[in-house]
Structure 1
Amino acid sequence: MQTRITTGAFRALGTAALLFLLPWVVYGSAISLDYGLRDDYAILREAREEPGKILRVCGAMGRPLYGWLLERSTREVDDVDGLGGLRALGVLGLALLSLALYLLFRAEGWRRSPAALLAAFLIVIPSAQVVASWSICWPQAVALLLSVGAFALARRGVGTSTGGARSVTWCVGGVAALAASTLIYQASGPFYAVLLAAALVTRRFDDVRASARWLASHVLVVGGGLGLAYVVTRMTFALGVFTPSPRMVLERHFVAKAVWFVTQVLPNALALNALNDTDAAPSWGYWPMVGVTLTVLALGLVVEGRRTGRVGVGTWVVSLVGLSGVAYCASLLASERWPTYRTLYALTGVWSVFFFAAMVKLGDRFPTRGPRVAVALLGGFVAVSALLAHQQSVELFAVPQERELALMRQGASAIVPARKPRVFVLTARQGDSAASQRYLDEFGSVSVDTEWVAKELLATAVRERFPQEKDTRSLYRFAAGPVLPESRAYDILVDMRQLRASPPRLIQLAR
């Protein structure tokens, strides 16, 4: 008995260690490389020169806790090198998230190997790659952890057989944690739905009423948390703490939004680990992965039907549809239609849970070797996903942005303060990206495609070169645009459209 306990404890510790180390191995290169992305450069300056601005901007979008976390952390960062520390915070959050997910999956009845593989997979999907590779996204990892914590608290309350004050206390704690998660990032709060999905696929439905009460209790916690966050947000606007952003508008055309969701958003979630592309057709594995996901889920439903009958099949279908709506509710309710991967985490997580559960059930149909084959297939799937995550975080985030920074640093190196030169930055087009793929403003995107980013990035590069100067912007005159002016209009030209060139060249013209 003692040997079994020791062996079990050793396996549990080994699994936990591997889960914690995995994101560091996958994203270690993206952490260490020297780069920033889009808003990073402005936030570096604002945290130092305009205290409170980051909080006000995030608060205006209903994310006050995001603004507080981001401003406090960025104050400790002096330059671009320090952005790697913020990315490390995001990876740390993902490492803790994988451990928390694994423990809760096990508590909900998942076997050790499928639970570990699912937890590992959820930190290498494209949404996780954004959190790990973009420094200002690290608070989203905190929001995800709070959402998972909300489920853990509510689970204690819903699972308390005696009910009463103790049960209510646990559920209230879950509501508070979920509200805090939503006040960091609205799309991260509904990650609670991923844990609900993981619990539903392991439950038997002999007592439909008991299952309905259990689900209703959790839905009340979700509604309470999201509702509390909404009330707090509206109060901050009503009291004048923050001025609402023009983006804070609720959706009015729900039919059109539903069509957009099915055609533009849902395929990205069904593709699981395959990446979409903005400019061209998605990667070769994108639509095949969508087909594999739907096929595996259909077969899983057949197996579930044989095991539990129509009640089980109906519960799976209703749960999948309903939890998909819960997982993406923040974006469905907002008027914006921007299907970024950073807003897809919860939705992809829900479909991943059902995909893994269906694979396990298919394996269980063949008791002799089926479970081992299912685990082997899932293990290979997770391994390939981890390799893709490593490759994409480096090639679609770090390297393209590193090239942009290198070009701007070359421009800054040509500045002679005594002459106060006129610097013109020819902004890039998204098609100028050196990356093999591009998806919206995340994977493979170009940062310096607008004047304000060019201005902030050049200022950052000049501060690096003249760290003792209080006002580095007085050392040069700046202009930027998508059209090259006459040569007499500038002394130094930084051509950001050379991102595909290797190595980058600086064009410098003097009168």
Structure 2
Amino acid sequence: MLTRITTRTFGLAGTATLLFLLPWLVYGSAVFQRYGLRDDYALLREAREEPGKILRVCAAMGRPLYGWLLELSARAAGDIDGLSGMRALSVTGLGLLGAAVFLLLRREGWRLAPAALLAAYLTLIPSAQVVASWSICWPQAVALLLGVAAFALARRGIEAPTGPAWRGGAWCLGGGVAVAAATLIYQVSGLFYAVLLAGALVMRQDADARATVRWLAKHLLVMGGGLGVAFVLTKLSFAAGLFTPSPRVVFEKQFLDKAVWSLTQVIPNALALSSLNRTAAAPPASYWPMVGLTLTLVTLGLFAEGRRAGRDGVGRWLLGLGALSAATYCVGFLAGERWPTYRTLYALTGVWSVYFAASLLNLGRCWPVHGPRVATALLGVFVAVSALLAHRQSVELFVLPQRRELAVMEQGAREVVPARHPRVFVLTAWQSDTTAPLRYLDEFGSVSVDTEWVAKELLGALMRERFPEERDVTRLYRFAASPVLPDPRAYDVLVDMRRMRPESALPIQLAR
């Protein structure tokens, strides 16, 4: 008996350790490369020269803790090379996320291999790739972990309260506080709570359907309470004059139109799981087939659940899928903005990933002899392919395109001779100038230097590296940028961001 317990403990610990290391294996080659993305360059300067600005800007959008964490880390990073440290924090957070999800899934009754594979997959989805590859996204990993912690705390208060009645309430209160803290970092990341809730729900076998409804309602109340507390605190900070609300903080008014937009522009991105969408062009060939596969597999899994648990099982699955999908997208649905970025879809994609995996396992149980092992093997193949995609996309759609842009600007910065006080003109790029094989919004494969302010910040960061003793490098040159090329007599140094150098002309290596 002791040997069995010891083996089980080492099995859990070993698997959790491997899950912690997996993101480093997948994203490690991208973490320590020299590159930045869009806002990164401005943050490096603002953290040093304008203390408090990052906090104020983020707090204006209801994310004060995000701003605080971001300002501290950007100040510590110091320069472009230091951005790799922020990405290392992201990957560390994803590793902890995978390990924590695995351990909680095991407590909910998942077998070791499927629990490990699902936990691994949740660190490989496109949303995770953004968190790992974009320096400023590292606080989102903290918010995701707080969402996991919130579920663990609330679970203890709801599932098996011991001692006085107030003790269970205290655990739930702790869960609500964790959700509120996650919301004040990044509103949608705390909703990752619902992913663990989905993982627990698909394992439940309540004889009374009302017990499931009560259980789910209690958890949703904890989530809703945390969101409500964060909203009230944000409003109070605005009312007290601590922060000025951003014009972007508005509620949606056209809910029917937003529902149609969500169903056509947002939900498919979640259902496509590992397959990326594309901006201003038809999605890749794998996109809609993956959406169809997810819907088909979940539908078949629903029928298999009905065969195993009857009508109550079907109702439980449908209730969970509908309620949790709505819960994970409630913030995005209520917000006035319509920006279907992957970093806002982590929790929604996570819920569908749980049902995808659970449906595959349900179908495997229909063939008792070999079905479970076949289903687990298929899930393993899917996760392995997703890991390869995540590695390739982090390199091809983040590292290489941004390094090419950086190399073009570095070449221009080297031509600046301060003694001549030259006029530097940056011809900003169009998004269509990207060298990436695929582009999606401001995340995958996008162009950073497509505006004057990014060009100015990037050139300033490079000049500070050249002249670290100079307090104000902008005195060394005169700067202008535009998407329209002026007369050649209007500048001394031209940095043409539309002429992205191919690798053959401007070598980009992954090993520094």
User: Deviations for 1:23-42, whole angstroms, at most 9, x for unmatched residues?
Assistant: 00100011011100000000
Moved more, 7-16 or 355-364: 7-16
Task: Answer yes or no: is the 8 Å Cα contact 1:403–1:504 preserved in 2.
Answer: no
- The CA deviation string for residues 396-432 of structure 1, in whole angstroms up to 9 with x for no partner, is 0011001111111111100111100000000000010
| Superposed counterparts of 1:52-451, under 5 Å | 52-161=52-161, 164-451=165-452
2:82 is paired with a residue whose SS is helix
Look up the match of 2:510: none
Structure 1 residues 180-214: Cα deviation after superposition (integer angstroms, max 9, x where no partner): 00000001121111111111100013122222221
C-alpha deviation, 1:10, in angstroms = 2.7
Pairwise CA distance, 1:160: 2.8
CA distance in structure 1 between the partners assigned to 2:102 and 2:79 by the alignment: 36
CA contact (8 A) 2:47 2:71 kept: yes
CA–CA distance in 1 between the matches of 2:316 and 2:372? 24
Q: Unmatched 5+ residue regions in structure 2?
A: 507-512
SS of alignment partner, residue 80 of structure 1: coil
Instruction: State the percentage of identical aligned residues.
Output: 68
Match of 1:497, SS?
coil
Structure-1 separation of matches of 2:8 and 2:323:
37
Structure-2 residue corresponding to 1:39: 39
Q: Equivalents in 1 of 2:392, 2:73: separation in Å?
A: 27
- Partner secondary structure for residue 425 of structure 1: strand
Moved more, 87-96 or 302-311: 302-311
Q: Which amino acid aligns with 1:72?
A: L
Q: Say if 2:16 is the partner of 1:16.
A: yes
- CA displacement 1:255-310 (0-9 Å, x = unmatched): 11110110000000000000000032222211111111111111101111111222
- Contact residue 190 and residue 329 of structure 1 kept, 8 A: no
Aligned partners of 1:395 and 1:494: how far apart in 2? 24
Is the partner of 1:494 in helix, strand or coil? strand
What amino acid is aligned across from residue 35 of structure 1 in structure 2?
Answer: Y
Displacement of 1:502: 4.1
- Distance in 1, matches of 2:55 and 2:285, equals 41
Alignment check: 8 A CA contact 1:406 1:504 kept: no
Aligned partners of 1:432 and 1:500 also within 8 Å:
no
**What amino acid maps onto 1:457 in structure 2?**
L
Q: Distance in 1 between matches of 2:168 and 2:268?
A: 39
CA distance in 2, matches of 1:176, 1:253: 31
Q: Distance in 1 between matches of 2:234 and 2:442?
A: 27
- Give the CA RMSD over aligned residues: 1.1
Shift in Å, 1:317: 1.4
Q: Is the 8 A contact 1:158 1:171 kept in 2?
A: yes
Deviations 1:420-467 (CA, angstroms, capped at 9, x unpaired): 000000000001001000000000000000000000001011111111
Give, as a single letter, the amino acid of the residue that structure 2 aligns with 1:122.
Answer: L
Quote the Cα distance in structure 2 between the aligned partners of 1:316 and 1:391. Answer: 34
State the partner residue of 1:509. none
* Residue aligned with 1:473, SS: helix
**Partners of 1:134 and 1:403 in 2: how far apart?**
16
Query: What TM-score results when the alignment is normalised by the length of structure 1?
Result: 0.97
Conserved in 1, the CA contact under 8 Å of 2:209 and 2:316? no
Secondary structure in 1 matching 2:77: coil
Deviation at 1:7, TM superposition (A): 2.5
Q: Give the CA deviation at 1:219.
A: 1.2
Q: Are residue 476 (structure 1) and residue 480 (structure 2) matched? A: no
Q: State how far apart, in whole Å, the 1-side matches of 2:504 and 2:59 are.
A: 41
Unaligned runs of 5+ in 1: 506-511
Q: Are the aligned partners of 2:161 and 2:167 in contact in 1 as well (CA < 8 Å)?
A: no
Shift of 1:494: 0.3
**Number of residue equivalences:** 505
Q: Equivalents in 2 of 1:483, 1:161: separation in Å? A: 67
What is the one-letter code of the residue matched to 1:45? R
The offset of 1:14, in angstroms, is 2.0
